[in-house]
Amino acid sequence: MARAPVGDDVYGEDPTVNRLQEEAAALVGKEAALFVPSGTMGNQLAILAHTGRGEEAIVDSQSHICYYEAGAPAMWAGVTLKTVEGLMNGGGEELLLNALRPEDIHFPPTRLVCLENTFNRGGGTVMPPETMERIYNLAREKSLIVHLDGARIFNAAVAAERDVRDFTANCDSVMFCLSKGLGAPAGSILAGDRDFIARARRYRKALGGGMRQAGILAAAGLAALRNIGRLAEDHRNARLLAAGLAELPGIKVDLERVQTNMVMVRVPGPRTAAEVVNLLKERGVRCGAMGPDLIRLVTHLNISSEDIHYTLSVAREIFSHP
């Protein structure tokens, strides 16, 4: 990062950013890419660039775009989200078809479908490329655009032992994070065709995401792309963690849904998930409450197998003393 050649990225003059964008676009099989500060901004730029005010995007009711992005589609793009329960959990094209509105003056025109892979609130589960392809073909048939929130798309590709382009071929645009499992301190990539990226670049500037000597961060992004192959280690650690937690009294873990680097744990009463999270934090284990009795634990390149064994020892201590 300290040695990265830099320039003014607002003017497209930062060589390290340009190199990152070129490598990232080629990696996911798209014409062009844009370096953005965060995954949320990448998703919102996609919505802005694909839609017009008063239009509608179809999303899973538990999607990151709907659940964790502060109502941004309404705030910035003037876009309504139509939420579909189970779209990312096997419902696929049938649920999408049922969600489409007839053409009517009372309804917002549907313009965009947003998928998410891996599925965060689904526990890091993978939507197979074949399912994505069926949804994409239906969307094209209905003149809809498909954006993929692929924050952890490389986790999906590694878990499925597939080329990432098998997934990204089935969307018009894709956002993926350079942070999280890939290890960069910040930054995400938005990729699509050149016209789309040109529109997104303008919106990035409008939202304050145009950075100057951003090559310092882009250099970390280039290093992060070299970490894709090691994601399998995170998946092994997640399964080790899940198997150990499932043996504890009262703990419920759906082992079939531990497909990548996330473990969703239901904890028994009378403690709430938030109380258990605080007890773990006091012992040096950080995780997050996802509901009254639901905890999410995530593995990444800074978590070793030794850390997993320590976490399990702490969990045994906590749950052996109700």
- Which residues in 214-245 are b (16+ Cβ under 10 Å) and which e? bbbbbbbbbebbebbeebebbbebbbbbbebb
Same domain assignment for residues 97 and 152: yes
CA-closest candidate to residue 121, choices 175, 62, 66? 62
Two structure tokens written together for 180: 């999280």
Helix (H, G, I), strand (E, B) or coil at 234: helix
Strands of 288-291's sheet in order across: 262-266, 294-298, 288-291
Looking at the structure of the chain, the number of domains it has is 2
pLDDT tens-digit profile, the chain (322 residues): 999 999 999 999 999 999 999 999 999 999 999 999 999 999 999 999 999 999 999 999 999 999 999 999 999 999 999 999 999 987 788 999 999 999 999 999 999 999 999 999 999 999 999 999 999 999 999 999 999 999 999 999 999 999 999 999 999 999 999 999 999 999 999 999 999 999 999 999 999 999 999 999 999 999 999 999 999 999 999 999 999 999 999 899 999 999 999 999 999 989 999 999 999 999 999 999 999 999 999 999 999 999 999 999 999 999 887 6
Same domain assignment for residues 246 and 311: yes
Q: Does 3 reside within a domain?
A: no
Q: Does 206 reside within a domain?
A: yes
Task: Give the per-residue pLDDT at 92.
Answer: 81
DSSP 126-194: ---HHHHHHHHHHHHHTT-EEEEE-TTHHHHHHHHT--HHHHHTT-SEEEEESSGGG--SS-EEEEE-H
Say which CATH number the domain at 276 has.
Answer: 3.90.1150.10
Same domain assignment for residues 310 and 186: no
Same domain assignment for residues 218 and 315: no
Two structure tokens written together for 246: 């499932």
Q: Does 50 reside within a domain?
A: yes
Establish how many alpha carbons lie within 13 A of residue 155's alpha carbon, considering only the half-sphere containing its beta carbon: 36
Same domain assignment for residues 209 and 260: no
Same domain assignment for residues 46 and 104: yes
Rg (CA), the chain: 20
Q: Does 4 reside within a domain?
A: no
Q: Does 304 reside within a domain?
A: yes
pTM: 0.96
Say which CATH number the domain at 175 has.
Answer: 3.40.640.10
Same domain assignment for residues 204 and 282: no
Same domain assignment for residues 80 and 107: yes
Q: Does 193 reside within a domain?
A: yes
Same domain assignment for residues 189 and 305: no
Same domain assignment for residues 296 and 220: no
Same domain assignment for residues 187 and 57: yes
Domain that holds residue 290: 230-319
